[in-house]
Amino acid sequence: IGFLLSKENGMGKLESFNAVSSLILGQSENFIAYKDILGKMSRNRMYTMAATAMSTVSMSIVGAYMTMLDPKYVVAALVLNMFSTFIVLSLINPYTVDASEENIQMSNLHEGQSFFEMLGEYILAGFKAAIIVAAMLIGFIALIAALNALFATVTGWFGYSISFQGILGYIFYPVAWVMGVPSSEALQVGSIMATKLVSNEFVAMMDLQKIASTLSPRAEGIISVF
């Protein structure tokens, strides 16, 4: 799939492989598969690798999202985000791949290692990545909750009681409206957009699940794919 994708987008095979493997392995775990060759790549290729990995989520997370949101929006988001990332990268980060770079292979990375040595190395690296991701998720949820309580308390002194996410909703209101969200729902959608950008996507999806039934199909589709 990555090879066919590279023919379509005109970028390197490794970048296209990275975009597809990120769907299977996840953002953090994905780079473990070829961590030893990253230092041999140019800065432009590294930027593309990072951007394509960050544009999608792993299948394990997709399964969780499908229980929280309408599955058709989740599938649409996967495809649109991957291809739109390549379109944006071709505009802001154009480059050509040298033949020497394109011939970088992953098959020789573990030459001289036994199967169980290689397996143990990946298990350990994957475990470390999982712990880091879990810790960050817990931390972001706690941070958003603390900021919401703090802002609600401070603004409550003036008779308003607006949470941190509510303030972000007002800031991102124009962005949501320009994207096509109805004005009556732009404040709620803007809050979800801001939460995703400033904290964590999973936290934003949890908040979206709470209000999805109150949104119109148009607003739900836009914020789900965002």
Domain boundaries, the chain: 2-102, 115-225
The pLDDT of residue 29 is 66
Cβ proximity of 81 and 50 under 8 Å: no
What ranges in the chain are assigned the alpha helix state H?
2-9, 13-25, 27-30, 43-54, 59-68, 71-92, 99-102, 115-156, 164-171, 173-178, 186-198, 201-211, 217-225
Q: Cα separations (Å) of 32 from 26, 36, 160, 173, 199?
A: 10, 8, 48, 38, 24
The CA distance from 171 to 71, in Å, is: 29
The pLDDT of residue 178 is 93
**Nearest one of 222, 224, 208 to 175, comparing CA atoms:** 222
Query: For every one of its 226 residues, what pLDDT tens digit does the chain have, with 9 covering 90 and above?
Result: 767 777 777 777 778 888 887 777 667 667 766 777 777 778 888 888 888 888 877 776 777 788 888 888 888 888 888 888 888 888 888 887 776 666 555 545 556 667 777 778 767 766 776 787 788 778 888 888 898 899 889 888 888 888 888 888 899 999 999 999 999 999 999 989 988 888 778 788 888 888 888 999 999 999 988 8
The CA distance from 10 to 13, in Å, is: 9
Can you say whether the dihedral through the CA atoms of 9, 102, 55, 4 is positive or negative?
Answer: positive
